[in-house]
Every structure is written in structure tokens, then in C-alpha cells.
């Protein structure tokens, strides 16, 4: 049946990955922004620097040129003054001569404010010295001319003024040259700086872009892979890798459409392992998982590649046989599947043998949609289970009615509990040594309004599945304790009532407290209560079970292992459980007169439990021959139809004190 605690592995992007991706993107963005900002700023400054430097140097060049020009003009002015016709013209030229001196001084001092190279400074210093020497001579020449001493003026001009001025001009033209050179250099270096800034800006931006592309490529590759993985996980079962229900339905839909077009048959097999829960509970979940994996492998290996094998969860598988011509072909696959699944498994060093129940529905006979076909196969499987497991069952329309019945039963059960239609019956156990009843087992009966009194076999599973067993079981326990306390009051103080506990009931966290309270409330001494548990329940969690049983023992409540010999637990486990009694299952007694092996097993169990200090009770004793055989095996306590069927409390009261020697014959 379906396992509720089935682990599902779903794909999730780990928080570390998410954080990494976001951090990567943010860093990338900041990097690009930073680089762009720095690059733009650097380019801007170097461009501005380039402009300033260019302007400054061009200005410098202009000034040095102006100085050369003015110095030349002044000499020319002197010449003109010497050859001028009249006084006025000479005065005008003199004015011009002094103005040019002023302009020269202005240009020079402006030049000094600009950034100058050491060479330029040296040349300017040299020029100042030479000018300081040349100017008084020029002034003297001009004065002589104004005084009409032209011959003397000309002589002075030619002999001293012009050579002195030439020396100045020579320095100035060197200055001009130097200024030109430094300008060119400055512009070139500024251009170089600008080019370098541009280079870094482009390379850093390029690098940032490259990192961006790499990051993006990684992210895309990752998300693609993650997407594919997620899709696979959404459509496949994590444990076996088989398609899950989602994918199965899609493919089944396609197979049905194809079959309807080409007049083929499709067979849907719903496969459920029998008693898988037992494997899980007794051998552990890891072994259960391993079994499921091996079954999946065998199923996949059995069918054709165009057929579908899927796992629905738990121990439920579906095999779809597509494009079949005849029903026989599908049944052939069913046989192959059964053969494959039921072969022995090697799991955790043990040999395991499992059977399966298979339900089959056919398209188009039983349905023409994937949903109907799967549901009908499920229904048929349920019937295969109901009719004894380890078989296959074809769907037929009547089955739906039976499913409806089950639903009906569930409603009925709830109503029945609410209306108090449940009651414990009691079945006696006889001690063959004393020939008296010491224990009665409480067995629930349902007085159904239309179906009469019903035994639990037909509804116990449903009670357990729906969890209603807990509430009902507690009510019956209280009633049985009250009844037993009453028998004690009537004088049967040695009598105990045995209560059956299902797994759900036993594993309730407050069971011990509840039992304790029930005893206080009903005033039944603890020895008056026995609890019966199956070995399967105990094997579910040995440590916890032992702890719980220990608590009951401390209270004085005795515990019995029910149906002993039918579970997966071995005799070796027995010594771990602090139980008082073993109830040997009816299965070994059924044919005990004719089956020496059953007799041998029963004898072994009886002697083992004796050596462990346990009592044994044999269930299901139906005829005197069985009783005789059991007596010979040393069996002391028996229960069964031979002694008495389960009866209502009032009927049991009448036989409680009875001596059974007469009925059962004397102990030998
Ligand atoms: P069990 O604990 O093994 O109880 C013995 C079953 O065998 C009872 O079936 C009883 O009527 C039947 N039986 C007794 N003597 C013979 C015999 O000589 N031959 C045959 N063929 N059968 C015999 P019943 O009453 O139908 O109960 C079936 C199972 O339901 C019980 O098996 C027990 O596990 C469970 N059950 C019954 N009452 C309760 C209950 O109140 N609570 C819980 N949790 N389980 C219960
Ligand atoms: Ca029992
Ligand atoms: Ca039993």
C-alpha cells in the first residue's frame, strides 16, 4: 500500500548559490559603473589639462613673437627717426618708440606669469641684461636725432645701438624657438596623457564587459542545467528515476489517442507489492527503498522500450502495454511482470521474497481516457488484494460498485461509533492444568442495523487507516475494564481481560497514561488487564516499544505477543521484549495432527518461551484432536471455538466459575 512518509527530493536553488549570483551581478554592475566613472573623470581632466596647456603655450608663443616683433620695430623706428624730414615727424616716431618699449615690457611681464622652462627663464634673464645695456644707447641715439645732431646719431646707431639691439634680438629669437619647442613638447605630453587615459578607460570597460559576459554565460549555463534538472525532477521519481504520475498521464494520453486511431489495445497494469509495509517496518526504510529500486529495475527490464513503466509512489507501479493487438499479448506481459517481481531479492544480506497484486484495465473496453483507465486499474488491483493478494485481476464494471461500497462503509463506521453500535465480546482461555478460565480476550463486534453482528475482519483495516480505531479502541477498553471489575466484584478475582491494540493505538503518545487512568476509573487492579500486540508493531521501533512495555510492566499490566510466528521478526528478537506471554498463531495449529513440521515448530516455540520464562497460549483450537496434540506438546493454555466462541459479557458471566474437566477431558 501507499507509504505516507515517502521522501521526495525536490530541486531547489541553494541559498548560497542565490547569494553568489546576486553578489556576482551587483559586483559586476558596480565594477562597470566605477570603471566608467573613473575613466570618464580621467579623460575629462586630461582633456582639460590638454586644453589649458595648449592655450598657455600658444599664449607664450604669441608673447615671445610679440617681443621679437617689438624689438625689431624699435630699431626700425630709430632708423626712421634719423631719416625723418621734420621735427614733428621725429617727435611722433619718438612717441611710438617709447610706446613700443612699454608694450614690450607688458608682454615680457605677462610672459613671466606663465609656466616657463628653466631654459626660457635663463634666456629671459639674459635678454634683460642685454636690454639694460641696449636701451640707454637707443635713448641716446634718439636724443641726438631730436637735437638735430644727425651725423653723431647715425654713427652711434651703427656703431653701438644696432649691435646691442641685435644681441637682444638674437636672445629673443632663441627664446621664441625655445617657446615653440616647449609648446610642442607640452602638447605632445598632454596628448599622450589623454591617449593613455582613453586607453585605460577602454581597456577597463572592455574588461568589465568581458567579466559581465563570462558571468552571464555561467549564469545562463547554470540556469539551463537547473531548469533541465527541475523538469526531470518534476516528471520523474527521485528514488527509481522512473516517470512519475505526471509524465505517466501525459504518455498514457498519447498512447490512448494512438490506439483509438489505429484500433489497437492499450493495457494499464496497476502493480502494488503485497505487505510492503512489513518489509519497511521490520527491515527498515533503507531496505524498503532498495527493494523498490530493484523492483523498478526488473519492471523496466521486462517490457518493450515503447511500453511505459512508472512509479506512483510508495510501492505502487504502473506498466502500460501500448499498441497491442490481442488481450493475450497483454496477459503475457502481466505473467512476465509477475515472474520478474516475485523472483527472490538480495537485500541487506538477506533473501527477500515478495508477491504483488496487479489490477488491469484495457483501452477501449474499460475507458478511453488516461484518468479512467488508471482509476479502473487501481480498482481492479484493490480487488486483487481483497481476494487474497498475489494475483492479477481484470477490471469489470461491478468493481466500481464495490469501491462505492467501501466509501459507504466508512460513513457507516463513523455513524456506528457515534451511535454506540460497537461492543466487546469475550472469548475464554482455558488453563489446562486448572481446567478453569483465567483470561478472556475482548474482541470487538459491530451490531450493524441492517447487516447484523459483524466481526472486525471486514472493517478493521478501514478503522486503522482512518485513525478512528484510537477513539473506538479506548471506548471498548473502558467498557471491558468495567466489565472485568464487575466480575471481580462477583468473586472472580483471578480473572483478567485481554485487550488487542493495533499499531495506531499502541503508538499513541499518551497510551500509558490513558491505561493508568482507565484502571483507576474502573477500579480494576492492574493484574486484571492484559494487552496484546503483534510482533510487527514491536518491530517498528524496538527501543520505544521496549520502553513502553516496561512502563506497563511496572504498573502490573501484562503484555502478550499476538499472532506469534507470522511476522518477519525472528525468535532472536524475543529476548529483547519484556513480554509475559506468547500467543501462537492459529496457522500452526490448523493442521497440527497431520503436519509434523507444524507440530515441531509449535513444540520449539513452547520450549523456547518456557526457557525465557514466558507463558504460551495457543489460539484457534477447534477440535478435540488438536487439543489432544497440543496437550502432548506440553501446551498449558488454549483458546478457540472448541472452548467457546466470543460472547457478550452477560453470557460469559455464567461460565466463568465452571470446571472444564468434564467438557475437555482430564489432563493427563
Ligand atoms: P486476534 O487477536 O488473533 O483474535 C482472534 C481471532 O480469531 C478472533 O477473530 C476470534 O474470533 C478468532 N477465533 C477465535 N477462536 C477461533 C477458532 O477456533 N477458529 C477460528 N477460525 N477463529 C477463531 P475476530 O474477533 O474476527 O478478530 C479478528 C482480529 O481483529 C483479532 O485477531 C484482532 O487482531 C483484531 N481485533 C478484534 N477486536 C479488536 C479490538 O477491540 N481492537 C483491536 N485493535 N483489534 C481487535
Ligand atoms: Ca488477540
Ligand atoms: Ca491472534
Q: Is 472 in the pocket of ligand 1 (CB under 6 A)?
A: no
Q: What's the whole-model pTM score?
A: 0.54
- To test the pocket of ligand 1, the residue of 416, 441, 456 to mutate (highest count of ligand atoms within 8 Å of its CB) is 456
Q: Are 343 and 375 in contact (CB under 8 A)?
A: no
Res 179: pLDDT = 83
SS (H, E, C) 392-440: EEECCCHHHHHHHHHHHHHHHHHHHHHCCCEEEEEEEEEECCCCEEEEE
Q: Does residue 279 sit in the same domain as residue 196?
A: no
CATH number at residue 329: 3.30.70.270
Using the 3D structure, point to which of 162, 191, 214 is the last residue of a domain: 214
CATH number at residue 162: 1.20.120.30
Measured by CA distance, the residue closest to atom 15 of ligand 1 is: 640
Measured by CA distance, the residue closest to atom 27 of ligand 1 is: 456
Measured by CA distance, the residue closest to atom 38 of ligand 1 is: 443
Phi/psi at 130 (5° precision)? -65, -40
Q: Give 585 Cα–ligand 3 centroid separation in angstroms.
A: 6
Q: Give 639 Cα–ligand 3 centroid separation in angstroms.
A: 10
Q: Is 476 in the pocket of ligand 1 (CB under 6 A)?
A: yes
Q: Give 413 Cα–ligand 2 centroid separation in angstroms.
A: 21
The number of the ligand nearest the C-alpha atom of 503 reads: 1
Within-domain flag for 630: yes
Q: Is 565 in the pocket of ligand 1 (CB under 6 A)?
A: no
Q: Does residue 250 sit in the same domain as residue 207?
A: no
Q: Are 530 and 581 in contact (CB under 8 A)?
A: yes
Distance from C-alpha of 57 to C-alpha of 182, rounded to nearest angstrom: 8
Taking a 5 Å cut-off on Cβ, the residues next to ion ligand 2 are 500, 532, 562
Within-domain flag for 409: no
Say if strands 558-564 and 529-534 run parallel, antiparallel, or are unpaired: parallel
CA gyration radius, the chain: 56
Res 91: pLDDT = 83
Please count the residues of the chain: 668
Distance from C-alpha of 483 to C-alpha of 247, rounded to nearest angstrom: 57
Q: Does residue 597 sit in the same domain as residue 499?
A: yes
Q: Are 178 and 117 in contact (CB under 8 A)?
A: yes
Domain containing residue 319: 245-395
Res 293: pLDDT = 96
Q: Does residue 319 sit in the same domain as residue 458?
A: no
Res 649: pLDDT = 96
Q: Check residue 236 and report its DSSP letter.
A: B
Q: Does residue 616 sit in the same domain as residue 489?
A: yes
Within-domain flag for 11: no
Q: Is 334 in the pocket of ligand 1 (CB under 6 A)?
A: no
Q: Are 635 and 432 in contact (CB under 8 A)?
A: yes
Within-domain flag for 465: yes
Within-domain flag for 240: no
Q: Is 528 in the pocket of ligand 1 (CB under 6 A)?
A: no
Q: Quick one: which atom of ligand 1 is closest to the CA of 646?
A: 11
- Sign, CA dihedral 310-312-317-318, equals negative
Q: Is 142 in the pocket of ligand 1 (CB under 6 A)?
A: no
Distance from C-alpha of 303 to C-alpha of 311, rounded to nearest angstrom: 15
Q: Give 501 Cα–ligand 2 centroid separation in angstroms.
A: 8
Q: Does residue 616 sit in the same domain as residue 497?
A: yes
270 forms bridges with which residues in the sheet? 318, 359
DSSP secondary structure string, 429-497?
Answer: EEETTTTEEEEEEEEEEEEETTTEEE-GGGTHHHHHHHTHHHHHHHHHHHHHHHHHHHHHHTT-TT-EE
For residues 226-241, one letter each, b for 16 or more C-beta atoms within 10 angstroms of the residue's C-beta and e for the rest, the string is eeeeeeebebbbebbe
Distance from C-alpha of 91 to C-alpha of 368, rounded to nearest angstrom: 128
Q: Does residue 574 sit in the same domain as residue 618?
A: yes
Q: Does residue 431 sit in the same domain as residue 574?
A: yes
Taking a 5 Å cut-off on Cβ, the residues next to ion ligand 3 are 562-563, 619
Using the 3D structure, point to which of 165, 193, 214 is the last residue of a domain: 214
Q: Is 622 in the pocket of ligand 1 (CB under 6 A)?
A: yes
Res 7: pLDDT = 36
Q: Give 582 Cα–ligand 3 centroid separation in angstroms.
A: 10
Q: Quick one: which atom of ligand 1 is closest to the CA of 477?
A: 41
Q: Is 623 in the pocket of ligand 1 (CB under 6 A)?
A: no
Q: Is 641 in the pocket of ligand 1 (CB under 6 A)?
A: yes
Q: Is 428 in the pocket of ligand 1 (CB under 6 A)?
A: no
Within-domain flag for 25: yes
Q: Is the peptide bond before 364 cis (omega within 30 degrees of 0)?
A: yes
Q: How many domains does the chain have?
A: 3
Average pLDDT, consecutive stretches of 10 residues, N- to C-terminus, the chain (668 residues): 37 65 78 80 81 84 88 85 81 86 91 89 92 89 84 88 89 87 82 82 81 81 85 93 95 95 95 90 90 97 94 95 92 95 91 93 94 95 89 87 81 94 97 95 96 94 91 97 98 97 96 98 98 90 93 97 77 82 92 90 89 93 94 93 96 91 68
Q: Give 226 Cα–ligand 2 centroid separation in angstroms.
A: 54
Q: Which H helix or E strand runs over 639?
A: strand 637-639
- To test the pocket of ligand 1, the residue of 443, 444, 501, 515 to mutate (highest count of ligand atoms within 8 Å of its CB) is 443
Q: Is 464 in the pocket of ligand 1 (CB under 6 A)?
A: no
Distances (CA, A) of 657 to 65, 485, 490, 535, 645: 147, 15, 10, 32, 17
Distance from C-alpha of 208 to C-alpha of 202, rounded to nearest angstrom: 10
Within-domain flag for 185: yes
Q: Is 501 in the pocket of ligand 1 (CB under 6 A)?
A: yes
DSSP secondary structure string, 588-623?
Answer: GTTTTTT-HHHHHHHHHHHHHHHHTT-EEEE----S
Q: Quick one: which atom of ligand 1 is closest to the CA of 585?
A: 3
Measured by CA distance, the residue closest to atom 26 of ligand 1 is: 455
Res 165: pLDDT = 87
Res 15: pLDDT = 67
Q: CA-based diameter of the chain, in Å?
A: 186
Distance from C-alpha of 82 to C-alpha of 181, rounded to nearest angstrom: 38
Q: Does residue 351 sit in the same domain as residue 316?
A: yes
Centre a 10 Å sphere on the Cβ of residue 309 and count the other Cβ atoms it contains.
23
Q: Does residue 660 sit in the same domain as residue 550?
A: yes
Q: Does residue 427 sit in the same domain as residue 552?
A: yes
Cell of 425: 465480546
Q: Is 460 in the pocket of ligand 1 (CB under 6 A)?
A: yes
Within-domain flag for 411: no
Q: Does residue 375 sit in the same domain as residue 485?
A: no
Q: Give 523 Cα–ligand 2 centroid separation in angstroms.
A: 23
CATH number at residue 590: 3.20.20.450
Res 309: pLDDT = 97
Q: What's the count of helices (H) and strands (E) in the chain, helices before strands?
A: 22, 16
Using the 3D structure, point to which of 395, 410, 439 is the last residue of a domain: 395
Amino acid at each position: 500500500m501507499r507509504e505516507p512518509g515517502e521522501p521526495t527530493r525536490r530541486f531547489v536553488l541553494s541559498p548560497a548559490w542565490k547569494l553568489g549570483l546576486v553578489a556576482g551581478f551587483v559586483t559586476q554592475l558596480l565594477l562597470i559603473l566605477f570603471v566608467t566613472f573613473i575613466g570618464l573623470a580621467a579623460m575629462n581632466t586630461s582633456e582639460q589639462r590638454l586644453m589649458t596647456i595648449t592655450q598657455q603655450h600658444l599664449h607664450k608663443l604669441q608673447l615671445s613673437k610679440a617681443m621679437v616683433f617689438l624689438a625689431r620695430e624699435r630699431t626700425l623706428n630709430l632708423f626712421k627717426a634719423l631719416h625723418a624730414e621734420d621735427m614733428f615727424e621725429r617727435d611722433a616716431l619718438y612717441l611710438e618708440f617709447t610706446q613700443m618699449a612699454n608694450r614690450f615690457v607688458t608682454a615680457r611681464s605677462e610672459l613671466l606669469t606663465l609656466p616657463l622652462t628653466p631654459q626660457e627663464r635663463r634666456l629671459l634673464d639674459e635678454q634683460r641684461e642685454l636690454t639694460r645695456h641696449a636701451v640707454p644707447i637707443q635713448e641716446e641715439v634718439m636724443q641726438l636725432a631730436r637735437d638735430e645732431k644727425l651725423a653723431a646719431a647715425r654713427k652711434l646707431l651703427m656703431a653701438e645701438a644696432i649691435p646691442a639691439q641685435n644681441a637682444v634680438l638674437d636672445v629673443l629669437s632663441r627664446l621664441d624657438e625655445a617657446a615653440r619647442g616647449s609648446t610642442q613638447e607640452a602638447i605632445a605630453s598632454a596628448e599622450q596623457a589623454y591617449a593613455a587615459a582613453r586607453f585605460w578607460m577602454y581597456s577597463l570597460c572592455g574588461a568589465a564587459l568581458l567579466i559581465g559576459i563570462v558571468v552571464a554565460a555561467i549564469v545562463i549555463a547554470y540556469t539551463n542545467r537547473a531548469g533541465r534538472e527541475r523538469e526531470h525532477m518534476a516528471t520523474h521519481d527521485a528514488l527509481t528515476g522512473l516517470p512519475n504520475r505526471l509524465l505517466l498521464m501525459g504518455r498514457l494520453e498519447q498512447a490512448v489517442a494512438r490506439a483509438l486511431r489505429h484500433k489497437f489495445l492499450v493495457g494499464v497494469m496497476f502493480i502494488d507489492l503485497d505487505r510492503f509495509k512489513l518489509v519497511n517496518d521490520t527491515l527498515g526504510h533503507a531496505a524498503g527503498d532498495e527493494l523498490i529500486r530493484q523492483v523498478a529495475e526488473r519492471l523496466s527490464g521486462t517490457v518493450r522500450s515503447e511500453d511505459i513503466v512508472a512509479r506512483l509512489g510508495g510501492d505502487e507501479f504502473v506498466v502500460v502495454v501500448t499498441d497491442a493487438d490481442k488481450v493475450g499479448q497483454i496477459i503475457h506481459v502481466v505473467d512476465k511482470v509477475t515472474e520478474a517481481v516475485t523472483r527472490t531479492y538480495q537485500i541487506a544480506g538477506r533473501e527477500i521474497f515478495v508477491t504483488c497484486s496487479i489490477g488491469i484495465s484495457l483501452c477501449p473496453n474499460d475507458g478511453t481516457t488516461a484518468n479512467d483507465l488508471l482509476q479502473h486499474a487501481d480498482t481492479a488491483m484493490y480487488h486483487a488484494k481483497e481476494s487474497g493478494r498475489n494475483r492479477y485481476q481484470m477490471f469489470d464494471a461491478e468493481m466500481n460498485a464495490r469501491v462505492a461500497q467501501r466509501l459507504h462503509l466508512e460513513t457507516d463506521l463513523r455513524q456506528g461509533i457515534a451511535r454506540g453500535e460497537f461492543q466487546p465480546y469475550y472469548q475464554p482461555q482455558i488453563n489446562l492444568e486448572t481446567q478453569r478460565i483465567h483470561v478472556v480476550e475482548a474482541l470487538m463486534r459491530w451490531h450493524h442495523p441492517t447487516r447484523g453482528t459483524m466481526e472486525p475482519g471486514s472493517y478493521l483495516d478501514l478503522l486503522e487507516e482512518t485513525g478512528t480505531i484510537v477513539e473506538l479502541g479506548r471506548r471498548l477498553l473502558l467498557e471491558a475494564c468495567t466489565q472485568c471489575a464487575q466480575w471481580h466484584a462477583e468473586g472472580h478475582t483471578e480473572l483478567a481481560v485481554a485487550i488487542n491494540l493495533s499499531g495506531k493505538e499502541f503508538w499513541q503518545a499518551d497510551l500509558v497514561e490513558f491505561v493508568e487512568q482507565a484502571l483507576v476509573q474502573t477500579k480494576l487492579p492492574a493484574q486484571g488487564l492484559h494487552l496484546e500486540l503483534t510482533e510487527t508493531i514491536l518491530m517498528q521501533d524496538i527501543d520505544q516499544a521496549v520502553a513502553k512495555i516496561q512502563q506497563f510492566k511496572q504498573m502490573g499490566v501484562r503484555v502478550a505477543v499476538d499472532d506469534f510466528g507470522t511476522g518477519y521478526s525472528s525468535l532472536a528478537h524475543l529476548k529483547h521484549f519484556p513480554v509475559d506471554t506468547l500467543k501462537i498463531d492459529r496457522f500452526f495449529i490448523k493442521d497440527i495432527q497431520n503436519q509434523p513440521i507444524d507440530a515441531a515448530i509449535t513444540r520449539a516455540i513452547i520450549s523456547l518461551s518456557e526457557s525465557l520464562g514466558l507463558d504460551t497460549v495457543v489460539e484457534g483450537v477447534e477440535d478435540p484432536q488438536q487439543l489432544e496434540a497440543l496437550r502432548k506438546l506440553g501446551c498449558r493454555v488454549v483458546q478457540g471455538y472448541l472452548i467457546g466462541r466470543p460472547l457478550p459479557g452477560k453470557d460469559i458471566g455464567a461460565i466463568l466459575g465452571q470446571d472444564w474437566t468434564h467438557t475437555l477431558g482430564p489432563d493427563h
